[in-house]
Amino acid sequence: MKNDNDAHPILEVKNLTKDFGGLRALNCLNLEVYRDEIVALIGPNGAGKTTFFNCITGIYPPSSGDMLITPPGEKAKKINNLKPNQVTARGLARTFQNIRLFPNMTVLENVMIGRHCRMSAGIIGAVFRPKSTIVEEKQVVADSYGILEKIGLASFVNEFAKNLPYGAQRRLEIARALATEPFILLLDEPAAGMNPLETRELDNLIVQLRDQEGISILLIEHDMKLVMSLSDRIVVMDYGRKIAQGTPQEIKANPVVIKAYLGEETDAPVEECTDVLR
């Protein structure tokens, strides 16, 4: 586990609050992710985990609070009011809880879409095909194929995405997100519906992404075995608040967490909206 306390977090969320009318979905949430780490976000259903993802990635505007990212080698930037495509261009990519592939495009094209924000060809390029565009297109195809090979989907390359088996579709979503060259990857229940063999392969893949690609992972998961095996750190949410964080061992033994899952009454420590309490 590499969690260098001197290093600056690459993703920092401060006092994030999100209201939907009268319903407070996120309540003063604080969270950091550092370089080269895998953080799991767990909690009972309805805790606000996917809402949290949606806020960070620009799908919902936050009601209050700040979200900052620090791309490697650059300064921290606020991403509060960015549109989803702008967030992705900054280096933060995601997958979806309910698979959202492009069903009538081939597997390769799905990944090529991920390259869109790293390409520059426009109308002129498309119509006149200057050398630079041709080179760029060739590069994109090669890069996308390379990603498919890494993920293990190369055999499906020309298949329509909608025809893929379920496990392959989940991995394709990851491949597509990888194509955007993120430095942090948000995975929303990547193991949902997978059998134990597929889950093991996913485990290896995610570790590979952290170690070989240098991408930090923040994942929402319900599969506890995977979470315990994979994570460097775990953050636990309930009712829109963070109720605990720590290493897998710490979380396993944490009575507050246990009670949140088992549903007993508890006086969970409420996060105050100050900078002091962590």
Binding region for other proteins (CB under 8 A) = 50, 54, 57, 59, 83-85, 88-89, 93-94, 96-98, 100-106, 108-109, 112-114, 116-119, 121-123, 125-127, 129, 133, 137-138, 141-142, 145-146, 149, 154, 157-160, 163, 176-177, 179-180
Residue 54: HSE in the Cβ half-sphere, 13 Å Cα cutoff: 15
Closer by beta carbon to other proteins, 76 or else 141 = 141
Beta bridge partners of 242: 237
Closer by beta carbon to other proteins, 152 or else 255 = 152
142-178: b (≥16 Cβ within 10 Å) or e: ebbbebbebbebeebeeebbeebeebbbbbbbbbbbb
Closer by beta carbon to other proteins, 215 or else 243 = 215
Closer by beta carbon to other proteins, 219 or else 251 = 219
CB of 256 to other proteins, least distance (A): 29
CB of 155 to other proteins, least distance (A): 10
Closest CA to 72 of 181, 207, 160: 181
Please list, in sequence order, all residues whose beta carbon lies within 8 angstroms of the beta carbon of residue 238, skipping any fewer than 6 positions away: 43, 44, 47, 260, 268
CB of 167 to other proteins, least distance (A): 19
Closest CA to 243 of 2, 43, 48: 43
Burial of 266 (0-12, 13-18, 19+ CB in 10 A): middle
CB of 219 to other proteins, least distance (A): 16
φ/ψ of 215, rounded to 5, equals -100, 135
